[in-house]
């Protein structure tokens, strides 16, 4: 038979166990908070093996147990807002580190600012796109023909912000100005008053009227007035 001291020790341990269980049921599980944060910032982490997400939640965190499903949203890049809208409402911000491995365009060799990119300068490599400061490029064709905005080192992951469309019109160039109104199209000769790439809106001067108008560059030597 257990001794009196053993019975006291056993009773004390059972009391501690009940106290711990009670505490666990009183506080929101840390894992639930982390899962809610990840659902907001990286919803594809559960289904895509190339995506890994880790929520920075202190294991000693004690938030009141929520009597409703936790709500979460992206507060800012890399940070989730996790909230309980139940009887005991609370809100906290959870950093989430996400790594996304994908094959993206990288620089095969260095180039200088303003230099047009060709296929020999580019390659594809698997990189963590989750840590990039901008939008990656996933196809070589999407980078070909563009100019480098700045000097780019070999191995650099190419971003959309690294590229600029080549200028197809230079200031002083003679251009064809196209005016459209429904099915009516009128063309006139003009002069570009600034450089422009395809899609840019620039000022041009109509050579007949000497009036300045704004027009969108549609190709080399060709613009279309904007309404």
Whether residues 21 and 61 share a domain: the answer is yes
Return the pLDDT at 20: 46
- Residue pair 169/175 in contact (Cβ under 8 Å)? The answer is yes
CATH number at residue 176: 2.30.30.760
- Its domain, for residue 75, covers 1-164
Do 158 and 175 lie in one domain? The reply is no
Mean pLDDT across the stretch 156-183? 92
**CA-CA distances (angstroms) from residue 79 to 6, 49, 75, 158?**
51, 21, 6, 25
What one-character DSSP code corresponds to residue 13?
H
Q: What is the CATH number of the domain that holds 23?
A: 3.90.1210.10
Q: Are residues 141 and 183 in the same domain?
A: no
pTM of the model: 0.55
With a cut of 80, say whether residue 83 has pLDDT above it: yes
Q: Domain total for the chain?
A: 2
> How many Cα atoms sit within 13 Å of 185 on the Cβ side?
7
Structure confidence by residue, pLDDT tens digits, 127-165: 998 778 899 999 999 999 899 999 999 999 999 999 998
Q: 115 and 96 share a domain?
A: yes
Q: Quick one: which H or E segment has residue 52?
A: strand 51-55
| 57 and 142 housed in the same domain | yes
| Shared domain check, 174 and 124 | no
- Cβ atoms < 10 Å from Cβ of 207: 14
In this structure, are 194 and 146 located in the same domain?
Answer: no
pLDDT reported for residue 25: 65
Domain boundary among 164, 180, 198: 164
- Mean confidence (pLDDT) of the chain: 88
One domain, residues 51 and 155? yes
DSSP class of 136: B
Q: What is the pLDDT of residues 8-17, one digit of tens each?
A: 554 545 444 5
In this structure, the answer to whether residues 141 and 55 fall within a common structural domain is yes
Residue 62, sorted as left (phi over 0), alpha (psi -120 to 50) or beta, turns out to be: beta
pLDDT, position 15: 47
């Amino acid at each position: 038979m257990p001794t009196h001291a053993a019975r006291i020790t056993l009773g004390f341990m059972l009391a501690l166990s009940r106290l711990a269980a009670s505490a666990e049921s009183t506080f929101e599980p840390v894992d639930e908070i982390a899962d809610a944060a990840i659902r907001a910032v990286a919803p594809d982490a559960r289904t895509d093996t190339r995506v890994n997400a880790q929520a920075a939640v202190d294991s000693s965190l004690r938030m009141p147990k929520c009597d409703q499903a936790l709500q979460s949203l992206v507060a800012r890049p890399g940070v989730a807002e996790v909230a309980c809208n139940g009887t005991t409402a609370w809100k906290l911000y959870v950093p989430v580190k996400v790594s996304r491995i994908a094959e993206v365009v990288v620089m095969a060799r260095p180039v200088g600012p303003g230099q047009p990119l060709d296929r020999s300068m580019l390659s594809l490599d698997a990189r963590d796109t989750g840590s990039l400061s901008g939008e990656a490029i996933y196809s070589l064709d999407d980078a070909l023909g563009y100019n480098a905005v700045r000097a780019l080192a070999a191995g650099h992951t190419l971003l959309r912000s690294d590229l600029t469309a080549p200028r197809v019109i230079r200031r002083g160039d003679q251009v064809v100005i196209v005016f459209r109104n429904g099915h009516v199209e009128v063309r006139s000769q003009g002069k570009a008053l600034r450089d422009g790439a395809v899609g840019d809106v620039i000022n041009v001067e109509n050579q007949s009227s000497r009036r300045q108008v704004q027009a969108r560059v549609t190709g080399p030597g060709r613009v279309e007035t904007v309404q």
